[in-house]
Amino acid sequence: MNLLYYDYFNNLQYVDFNSFFSHERTRSLLKWINDLNDGVPLWRRILLCFSGISAFTNVLYVILVIYGKISSFFWGITGAILYGIYAFAYGYVGDAQLFLFFFLPMQFVGIYLWSKELDNKSTTRVKSLKFSGWIVVGFLSFFLAFLFYYEIPMFSKYLTSSYLFERRSIPHLFDAITNGLNVIGQCLLIACYWEQYIIWIFVNLMSIIMYSGCLGTSLDINLLLVWIMLAISSSCGLYTWYHRWKHSEHISSMLNIKV
């Protein structure tokens, strides 16, 4: 879900906040005009406009997931298709493959699993990871980070002939880790675990570091604002799901006492 958050807030890039800096004063505040001046093809600029539709569908998805509604997956399917196509067009290879090849099919898995976890208010029940579950999460995180460390550059070069962090080892490592954690977070989401938001927040903090210029990467105000807002949204989700889990545990304990 973190990349679905990202899709919504990334559409702030209709406005290019980097134009406020002195070294970018020659650029317009509007991304459409900057893309036109940079020679971006018309069909790509049209897809930039269409990405606004995916932003709307994905914000509905995010809100409905926080409230545990199975209808969220309908909007997740729509948003994954629209943003996946847009991401391919603009060369966001990591996002594109996750949206179309992972997040899209996982929406259908989510519908199936959540349908088995609904309470009498048509809201999904919330679970909590045990210690053994955290061991599995740790192992899979390491494995996926290792996999993406080599896969993302290969896939990116195949499609665009380049990879943004090819000569920057630490941002490259962060890129691999965050992609792996996005997969883990989505799996925890469809399995109804509140700890998914711990994963999302960790991804957000790593991404803030990546785009703040601290790792030798260029400072990108657009992306920095995106990930700061994502961290705030994930914190709200953590609060909501954790308290839903605690409430369900309290009710279960009360029922056991009565029995």
How distant is the alpha carbon of residue 88 from its chain centre?
16
- Percent over 70 (pLDDT), the chain: 71
169-218 per-position pLDDT tens digit: 888 898 899 999 999 999 999 999 999 999 999 998 998 888 777 776 66
List, in sequence order, every beta strand (DSSP E) within the chain.
none
**Confidence class of residue 230 from pLDDT cuts 50, 70 and 90?**
confident
55-106 per-position pLDDT tens digit: 677 778 888 888 888 988 998 898 888 878 877 776 677 778 888 899 999 9
The confidence score (pLDDT) of residue 196 equals 94
The confidence score (pLDDT) of residue 208 equals 87
Asked if 227 and 211 count as a contact pair (C-beta separation under 8 A), the reply is yes
Asked if 65 and 188 count as a contact pair (C-beta separation under 8 A), the reply is no
Tokens 């208010």 locate to 121
**Confidence class of residue 242 from pLDDT cuts 50, 70 and 90?**
very high
For the beta carbon of residue 46, count every other beta carbon within 10 angstroms. Answer: 12
Q: Who wins on pLDDT, 225 or 156?
A: 156
For residues 46 and 105, give the distance between their C-alpha atoms in angstroms, rounded to a whole number: 26
Element (H, E) at 140: helix 131-160
DSSP class of residue 219 equals P
Domain with 23, as residue range(s), is 2-258
Q: pLDDT at residue 241 above 80?
A: yes
Domain count, the chain: 1
Query: Residue 68: which of 252, 179, 215, 196 has the closest Cα?
Result: 196
The confidence score (pLDDT) of residue 180 equals 93
**Confidence class of residue 6 from pLDDT cuts 50, 70 and 90?**
low
Write the single-letter amino acid at 102.
F
Q: Who wins on pLDDT, 27 or 77?
A: 77
- For helices 196-211 and 2-10, give the axis angle rounded to 10 degrees: 40
3-state secondary structure of 109: helix
